[in-house]
Amino acid sequence: MVEYAGNRAAARARRAARAEATSLARRLDWVLVATVGGLVAYGLWAIAGITRHDVPGSPSYYVTRQAIFAAVGIVGAIGAVLVDPGVYRRHHRAIYTGTIALMVLVLLSAPFTRGSKRWIDVGFFRFQPSEFGKLLFVLALAGFLADRARRISSPRTTLQTVGLAAVPIFLVFLQPDLGTALVYGAALAAILFVAGTRWMQIALLAVGAVVFAVLVLWGLPSVGVPVLKHYQQDRLLHWTNPDSDPGGATYNAHQSILAVGAGGVHGRGVANATQTNLDFLPEHATDFAFASLAEQRGFLGAAALLCLYLLVVWRGLRIVAIAGDPFSAIVAGGIVVALLFQIFVNVGMTMGIAPITGIPLPFVSVGGSSMIANLVAMGVLLAIHARARAQDRW
């Protein structure tokens, strides 16, 4: 009997779980799922072409690895869908502390790679905390703000948030990873914006950011306190004029624009993409993946990718609007804006309309951390959607 009762209880639990799973499945944003799936597939196809000549003798070396990462990322995304976002809110202090701890760990332990410490080696792949940090950063700050929803308009709350955010931003900047630090900054702006910080405070923060940027770029170097590395400064200042020094500071920008332009409407194909295959285009599998894609697949291929991104951003903004609680809305806003910012800076820098910073192209650039972190972030978006209100209106 006991056994029977136990069986009945178990069956009930199983039924409830099945019901929840079906309901969850029904409440998923299938457009977003399809779009992200398409992006991952498209990204793998693009990487297959871009890296075909990179490892002599094994043309699919990178694409295989990348596919494995994508699979891990999908598993991570499914896991994220199953977690109620409220869990993150309750534990935002732990998330924040954990993020900071990870970043300090990177600075302390990671070996130097190309002049910067960004990775922690975990066996078969190198774990890059700052990529996961993006999501954790958004979750932690959103939790902090959601707790103070009633005092959102007080300057004290805003200053506290900025102060909290400054620590991880500074740690990432120290790695040094200027691009990711900027992504964090964009996410912070989005979080405050969606949380409902007063316009006046946002305006003051914007002015403060501009003053800070001017100080870092011109003010402090002129009094002998270089904040940025030389190459960072050069790239930030020279991007408006990519031909000013084709052999030096603007070499990357120059070659990248050449690659994009040479692609034309239909692309040069994988075999004929000389900018990519002959290594004129540096970092073509990671930071400059878009230029490489544009060279190989032309306007049609590159525009298709941008369309997929546009779809993701649209679905993301929609989730911000229908989110079931302030925390979820803030998280969704942070995720979407961080994604939008990465897309703009990365694609823009390959075409000479944004400064060159080392930001990977979401879902395309070779790199496990970025792929997995972005997929998990999409999972969080989907989880928010599944628990949203009034979803059939949209």
Partner 1 sequence: MASATANGRPAAPPRVVPPERVGLEYRLSPGVAVRIGILGIVAIAIFSVLFLRLWALQVLSGTQYLRAAQNNQLRTLPVQAPRGAIVDRNGVPLVTNVAGTSIRVWASDLPKHGRYTELQRLARLVHVPFAQIATELRKHAGDPLAPVTVDEAAHDDVVFYLSEHRDEFPGVEIARTYLRHYPYSDLAAQVLGAVGEVSPQQLESPGGRQFRPGDEIGQSGIERAYDAYLRGESGVAHLRVDSLGRPLSALQVSNEPTPGYELRLTLDVKLQQAAERALRYGIVEARNQGAWAANGGAIVALDPRDGSILAMASDPTYSPSLYVGRKPARLLRPLLDRGAAEKANFPGLDRAIEGGYPPGSTFKPVTALAALEEHLISPYDTLPCKGQVTIKGQTFKNWDPYVYEGMTMPVALAASCDTYFYQLGYKFYQLPRERKQPLQEWASRFGFGQKTGVDLPGEQAGLLPTIAWRHATYTPKTDPHHWQIDRLWKPGDSIQLAIGQKDLLVTPLQMARFYALIANGGRLVTPHLAEDVEQPGGGRTPAIVRRRFAPPTPQRVNVDSSALEVVRAGLDEATHGTIGTSQAIFGSFPYRIAGKTGTAEKTVFLPGQKTGLNLSQSWWCGYGPTDNPTIVVCALIENGGHGGTAAAPAALKVFEQYFGRQATQHGTVYSD
> Binding residues for partner 1, per CB under 8 A?
19-20, 23-24, 27, 84, 86, 146-147, 149-150, 190, 193-194, 196, 247, 255, 257-265, 268, 274-275, 278-280, 294-295, 298-299, 302-303, 306, 309-310, 313-314, 317, 320-326, 329, 333, 336-337, 340, 343-344, 347-348, 351-353, 386-387, 389-390, 392-394
Shortest distance (Å) from residue 219 CB to partner 1: 28
**Residue at token pair 């990487």:** 47
For partner 1, which is the closer residue by CB, 257 or 380? 257
C-beta of residue 320 within 8 angstroms of C-beta of residue 194: yes
For partner 1, which is the closer residue by CB, 106 or 331? 331
Shortest distance (Å) from residue 48 CB to partner 1: 21
Please list the alpha-helical segments (H only) found in 351-389: 368-386
What is the rounded CA–CA span in Å between residue 34 and residue 326?
Answer: 26
Q: Is the dihedral of CA 352, 356, 360, 362 positive or negative?
A: negative
For partner 1, which is the closer residue by CB, 157 or 369? 157
Shortest distance (Å) from residue 327 CB to partner 1: 9
For partner 1, which is the closer residue by CB, 100 or 289? 289
Amino acid at position 377, single letter: A
Query: 3-class DSSP state for residue 351?
Result: coil
Query: 3-class DSSP state for residue 121?
Result: strand
C-beta of residue 336 within 8 angstroms of C-beta of residue 311: no
Shortest distance (Å) from residue 357 CB to partner 1: 16
What is the rounded CA–CA span in Å between residue 380 and residue 80?
Answer: 5
For partner 1, which is the closer residue by CB, 33 or 354? 354
Shortest distance (Å) from residue 286 CB to partner 1: 17
Shortest distance (Å) from residue 54 CB to partner 1: 13
For partner 1, which is the closer residue by CB, 73 or 326? 326
For partner 1, which is the closer residue by CB, 43 or 129? 43
Shortest distance (Å) from residue 372 CB to partner 1: 24
Residue 368: name the closest of 150, 50, 61, 125 by CA. 125
For partner 1, which is the closer residue by CB, 48 or 304? 304
For partner 1, which is the closer residue by CB, 118 or 315? 315
Amino acid at position 106, single letter: V
Shortest distance (Å) from residue 300 CB to partner 1: 9
What is the rounded CA–CA span in Å between residue 337 and residue 183?
Answer: 9
What is the rounded CA–CA span in Å between residue 257 and residue 80?
Answer: 38
Please list the alpha-helical segments (H only) found in 110-198: 129-147, 155-174, 178-195
- How far is C-alpha 204 from the chain's CA centre? 26
CA angle 228, 233, 239 (to 5 degrees): 150
Number of Cβ within a 10 Å radius of residue 151: 12
Shortest distance (Å) from residue 71 CB to partner 1: 27
For partner 1, which is the closer residue by CB, 232 or 276? 276
Q: What is the 3-state secondary structure (H, E, C) of 38-79?
A: HHHHHHHHHHHHHCCCCCCCCCCHHHHHHHHHHHHHHHHHHH
DSSP class of 365: S
Shortest distance (Å) from residue 260 CB to partner 1: 5
Q: What are phi and psi of 21, to 5 degrees?
A: -65, -45
